[in-house]
Structure 1
Amino acid sequence: MLTDPILTRFRDELTRNGGDGHDWQFLAGRPDDEVAGRLRDADVLVASRMTAGMAASAKALRLVHVTGAGVDRIAFGALAPGVAVCNTFHHGSSIAEHVVMVALMLSRRVRRADALLRQGRWESVAVDPAVPLGDTLAGRTVGVIGLGEIGTEVVRATTALGMHARAVRRTPGAPLPEGVRLDRIDGDDGLPALLAGSDVVVVTVPLSAATTGLIGARELALMRPDALLVNVARGPIVDEDALYDALAAGRIAGAALDVWWSHPKDGGGARGYTRPFDALDNVVMTPHHSGHTRTTFAGRAAEIAANIARLAEGRPLENVVRAGA
């Protein structure tokens, strides 16, 4: 059973890559109670979220395959002990390209220039000496918080443009993938130094009890006045009020926000925020779509189908978050 509306577009990939021969049910957009009712006889749920009610009704379930990396919307506590949970990735390079794009937009003041030109105002250093010059990324330092697939690909993309890279992660001594170059890697206690020493700070860690509110007023105060913050992880990792206040007061130069503090699917407002970020011209705002490319979802569909085939054949699953029986 699949409830994810994006992966519904990739039916061919799901059935072609080991998922053929199965009885697929596509229930994207259906109410939770209907999904819960249909789950009673399902072996596999492919979804981005699973409520406790869904889990309680899933009597035959063997696998929950999350359609992305984040598993914070799965009701683990309500799942039967024998149900495995897997996730999937394939979004690292797409999100890394987004990070480069928005960092350049902020550095070159693209959002403001675009808005003014649409109003008939030609704001350029060529005609107005008061207009500030933009910056390149080459030679500047990117600080990456978290060094999983996304963080690693951000390092690859930014260093290819000539940036210096540093990072913090829980296991600083763990080996790096081939070709990934960093000037410095610290443990979690190195976060203050990273914030103080980076021109562009990129948040890529998963949301957890430990990372909720990780970037608050104290952390933002450590950043340089000309520094940028890019959040492609989860909204609550950054304190909303503290970030808005820092941006509005000019204590940091700008922010690119692809993730927010609420989501329409969770009953939150369509905007995802309560402070008026939309009134600030030093913010680039996107609706959690930095990884939404065909490359990302075709790869995920193929991997999910292959994992379902492994389950059917009794072979070990890949990307296991929670082992089943």
Structure 2
Amino acid sequence: MLNHRILSRFHEPLRARTEGSHDWLDACDWDATRIAEALPDIEVYVGSRLSAEDARRAARLRLVHVVGAGYDGIALDALAPGATVATTHHHGRSIAEHVLMSVLMLSRDVLGADRALRAGRWRNVAVDPGLAFGRTLPGRRVGVIGFGETGTEVARLCQAVGLSVRAVRRDPSAPFPAALRPDWVGGNDRLPDLLAESDIVVVTVPLNPATRGLIGPDELAAMGPGTLLVNVARGPVVQEEPLYEALRSGAIGGAALDVWWSGPPQAPSRLPFHELPNVLMTPHHSGHTFDTFAARAAEIADNIGRLGRGEPLSGVVHAGDRAAGDHGHPTGHSTVSSPAGSPASPRS
């Protein structure tokens, strides 16, 4: 069963790469009752959320394949004993390009110039001698919080345009691409040093109990005026009210926020970030490129093939009790997606 609206747009590549006896069930437009009725026969579920109630219904479930890196939306404790959970990434380059774009837009006040010209006003230093100059990138310092796939891709692009990089991560001794030459990589205890030394701070860590509220009043004060904050991780990693106040008061220079404290259909924040001229707001789409999801579709399809052949899966984050010895060919509904309106049928 496929229950992920973005990935459903890749149903043909998924179909082409999963040869065998599979029923393709695209549940993106199904109501909760129809999904509940289908779950008892499902062996593979592809999506980002699976409630405890739905997980308990899926007693034959063998693989939950998350469409992304975060699996906090999957009720692990309610899964069938033999169910494995795997994730997929491929978003690092897309998010890194978004980060670089955001830094450039904030550094050159692109949004302010755009708003003014749409209103019929020319806003540049030639006509307004009081307007601050924009900044180019070489020589400025980027601090990356988290140095996994996204963090290292951010570092790679930043170094390519002349920015210097430092980073903190949970395990500073973990390897990173040999081509990177950061100023330093330290443990989380060096976060105060990173904040004090950086002109641009990029947040890329996952949300967990250790990172929730990681950036608060003290950390924002350590950045100082002029520092730009880019959050492409999760909204609650940064404390909402202190960030708003730091931006409103000018305690920091600006922020690019792609992640928020609530999601649709609610407003992204209960505070009026949209009224602040030094904030770039995007709707959690920094990784939403064709390249990201084409690569994810290919990896998910390949993992389903491995499941059927009894081979080890990639990206496993939760191994079911029977996962190591129960990899026979799926016989019920497995993966995913047929075009809307088309009948799902077994293939051999």
Q: TM-score, normalised by structure 2?
A: 0.90
CA distance in 1, matches of 2:64, 2:83: 7
Going from structure 1 to structure 2, the CA distance change for 1:28 and 1:163 (only over 3 Å counts) comes to same
Q: Does 1:63 align with 2:59?
A: no
Amino acid at match of 1:78: A
Q: Is the 8 A contact 1:201 1:227 kept in 2?
A: yes
Q: 1:230-281 CA deviation, whole Å, 9 max, x = no partner?
A: 00011111111111010001000000000011112xxx61x22110000001
Give structure 2 stretches of 5+ with no counterpart: 323-348
The answer as to 2:179 corresponding to 1:179 is yes
Bigger mean CA deviation after superposition, 75-84 or 306-315:
75-84
**1:82 CA drift (Å):** 1.6
Query: 1:298 aligned to 2:308?
Result: no
1:116 and 1:122 in contact (8 A); partners too: yes
Cα distance in 2 for partners of 1:8, 1:261 equals 26
Matched, 1:285 2:265: no
Q: Give the TM-score of the pair, scaled to structure 1.
A: 0.96
Asked if residue 38 in structure 1 is aligned to residue 51 in structure 2, the reply is: no
Letter in 1 for 2:289: T
Listed as ranges, the matches of 1:10-159 within 5 Å are 10-18=10-18, 21-159=21-159
Residue 238 of structure 1 corresponds to 238
CA distance in 2, matches of 1:91, 1:145: 17
Q: Which runs of 5+ in 1 are unaligned?
A: none
- 1:287 is paired with a residue whose SS is coil
**Cα RMSD, aligned residues only:** 1.1
Q: Does 1:218 align with 2:214?
A: no
Q: Does 1 or 2 have the higher relative contact order (CA < 8 Å, sep 6+)?
A: 2
Following superposition, the deviation at residue 32 of structure 1 comes to 3.5
Contact 2:166 2:183 in 1 (8 A): yes
Give the whole-Å Cα distance in 1 for the aligned partners of 2:37 and 2:31: 10
- Structure number, greater radius of gyration: 2
Structure 1 CA distance, aligned partners of 2:217 and 2:29?
A: 38
Measure the CA separation in 1 of the matches of 2:178 and 2:32: 44
* Equivalent residue, structure 2, for 1:276: 272
Change (3 A) 1:114 1:60: same
Please state whether the residue corresponding to 2:208 is helix, strand or coil: coil
Contact 1:33 1:54 (C-alpha < 8 Å) held by counterparts: no
Q: Which amino acid aligns with 1:169?
A: R
The answer to whether the 8 Å contact 2:246/2:252 transfers is yes
Moved more, 60-69 or 33-42: 33-42
One-letter amino acid matched to 1:25: L
Change (3 A) 1:201 1:20: farther
- The answer as to whether partners of 1:19 and 1:305 remain within 8 angstroms in 2 is no
Structure 1 residue ranges (4+ consecutive) displaced by more than 4 angstroms after TM superposition: none
Cα deviation, residue 35, structure 1: 2.0
Whether the 8 Å CA contact 1:32–1:54 is kept in 2: the answer is no
Aligned residues: 321
Tell whether the 8 Å contact from 2:60 to 2:80 is kept in structure 1 after alignment.
Answer: no
1:313 and 2:309 are equivalent in the alignment: yes
Please say if residues 39 and 54 of structure 2, whose CA atoms lie closer than 8 Å, have aligned partners that are also in contact: yes
Letter in 2 for 1:273: S
Deviation digits for residues 90-125 of structure 1, max 9, x if unmatched?
110000000000011000001111000000010110
Three-state SS of the structure 1 residue aligned to 2:18 is helix
| Partner-residue secondary structure (3-state), 1:173 | coil
Q: Distance in 2 between matches of 1:151 and 1:50?
A: 28
CA contact (8 A) 1:36 1:53 kept: no
Write out aligned runs for 1:163-178 (5 A): 163-178=163-178
Shift of 1:173: 1.1
Output the CA distance in 2 between the equivalents of 1:146 and 1:32: 37
- Aligned pair in 2 of structure 1 residues 10, 249: CA closer, same or farther (>3 Å)? same
User: 1:79 offset after TM fit, Å?
Assistant: 1.4
Q: Aligned equivalents of 2:214 and 2:26: distance in 1?
A: 37
Shift of 1:16: 1.8
Distance, in Å, in 2 between the alignment partners of 1:70 and 1:29 is 23
